[in-house]
Structure 1
Amino acid sequence: MAATGPDLYEPLQIRYPPSPPAAPRSPPAASRRASGTILAVGTAVLLVLGAALAALVILHVQGQAELQAARAELAAAGNPLLPDPNGPWSPRESSAAAQRRKDQLGRWLQGLALGWRYHEGRIYFFSGDRKSWGDAEAACRSAHAHLVSVTSPEEQDYLAREARGGSYWIGLSATGPGGSWRWTDGAPYSQAKSFWAPGQPDSTDYGQWGQESCAQIHPVGNGLWNDHNCNFTFLWICKRDLSPP
């Protein structure tokens, strides 16, 4: 038998050099843009939420300040008249009259919590909807108030500032004798102490709609007065005096 040589079928082990590590693949441009957009939107949402939260905090602080101011003024006004919280407002006032006054003060403070604004012994309501002048006055009366009268430069400045450039009905109309102007709450009207915009009132005639016979705070002239047709709809302002009747 011939000598045996190496086994030609012996399995061979082939060793390959290790492959170099694959370089990290950059995300497609579209994915990068999408990620950037999501980040921008998220940032914008956070900014909006932050601004909204800040606005709510400011409104809350302002509302609390108005409530505290009203309570402080009422307490100061009541001290000389009401040393005993459970007694009459004056020696000549009955317990029933004192209770009516206390109830009225309670309604005023409740009004502040319902959106009325306190300023210098009065509370004001700036509407969020539009009505004709007559319907606006009826809405104020339903809240035991009237469309606002303006009796001083300081009050005019306050109303013009709070109107923030809007058009609001006020309680002045040409319904007196001979078409003279008068306030619906009975406050005296004086042409010399009025705050009409230049050239107003001009009593423009709207034909079948009638003439301009009702007054409004108007953006022209930084909240000065303009006369307008009473049948048109605008925002409106109510006023209640804090002096007990």
Structure 2
Amino acid sequence: MLRNLELKQGTVQTNVAVTEPCSTIPTTTLQPPEIIMLTQSYSTIPPTTPQPPAITTDDPCYKCEDGWKQHGGKCYFFSTSKSSWNESSTECITKGGDLVKIDSSEEQSFLRIAIQQKIEGYDDFFWIGLTDSAVEGRWLWVDGSPLNEGLTFWFSHEPDDWTGEDPGGEDCASM
């Protein structure tokens, strides 16, 4: 039974072997014409084992990695390291994610509760994936999509360009 057939850039290797699994039949080396025939006849060899079903975070059986929280089909990581928005974004990317994009009041409520459990002081906050650093006043999520101004779960003046700590104003959003 042919187990593996390797093709490289349109050429077939000449040392493909035919063996029966668990048999004592000696291995036979095929010559190029036989390889071409097998390639043509078996170009779509079915897998020997069924492929596992795709698992998404929406799957109730899906489990996020240790240290991550699952909610609404997503996995969230709450880093308690003190860092800038850019450093936080980089940390998220190295973990295979990005700063959070909040799409609903339900998601924001989940985040607010989770964050309250992690906050230790009045000046603690968590960066989210919203910034107007490219164009002042034009708030974009990390995926490049604009902030939906119609969302009603933000306070009416948020996000803003708060100047309390920096006279130039803030460019990144936090919770």
TM-score (norm 1): 0.41
The within-5 A match list for 1:5-20 is: none
1:87 alignment counterpart = 51
**Which 5+ residue runs of structure 2 have no aligned equivalent?**
1-48, 120-124
The structure with more radius of gyration: 1
1:26 alignment counterpart = none
1:174 alignment counterpart = 132
Q: State yes or no: 1:216 paired with 2:174.
A: yes
Q: Cα 1:180–1:196, aligned 2, differ >3 Å: closer, same or farther?
A: same
2:102 alignment counterpart = 150
Q: Which amino acid letter does the alignment assign opposite residue 51 of structure 2?
A: G
Q: Distance in 1 between matches of 2:115 and 2:158?
A: 19
Q: Distance in 1 between matches of 2:92 and 2:50?
A: 32
1:161 alignment counterpart = 113
Identity of aligned residues (%): 33
Q: Which amino acid letter does the alignment assign opposite residue 65 of structure 2?
A: L
Output one character per residue of 1:72-119: Cα deviation in whole Å (capped at 9) or x when no partner. xxxxxxxxxxxxx83275xxxxxxxx7xx79xx9xx84x522x00111
Q: Distance in 1 between matches of 2:155 and 2:147?
A: 16
Q: State yes or no: 1:192 paired with 2:150.
A: yes
Q: Is the 8 A contact 2:68 2:76 kept in 1?
A: yes
TM-superposed deviation, 1:128: 1.8
* Partner SS, residue 199 of structure 1: coil
Q: Cα 1:136–1:194, aligned 2, differ >3 Å: closer, same or farther?
A: farther
TM-superposed deviation, 1:175: 3.4
TM-superposed deviation, 1:178: 5.4
Q: Distance in 1 between matches of 2:144 and 2:116?
A: 27
Q: Distance in 1 between matches of 2:91 and 2:74?
A: 18
How many residues align structurally?
A: 116
TM-superposed deviation, 1:177: 4.6
Q: Is the 8 A contact 1:112 1:118 kept in 2?
A: no
Q: Distance in 2 between matches of 1:178 and 1:169?
A: 18
Q: Distance in 2 between matches of 1:120 and 1:186?
A: 22
- The Cα RMSD (Å) is 3.1
TM-superposed deviation, 1:144: 1.3
* Partner SS, residue 192 of structure 1: coil
Q: Distance in 1 between matches of 2:52 and 2:82?
A: 42
Higher relative contact order (CA 8 A, sep 6+): 1
Q: Which amino acid letter does the alignment assign opposite residue 203 of structure 1?
A: D
TM-superposed deviation, 1:187: 4.7
Q: Which amino acid letter does the alignment assign opposite residue 211 of structure 1?
A: G
| 2:65 aligns with one of 112, 115, 118 | 112
More helix by share: 1
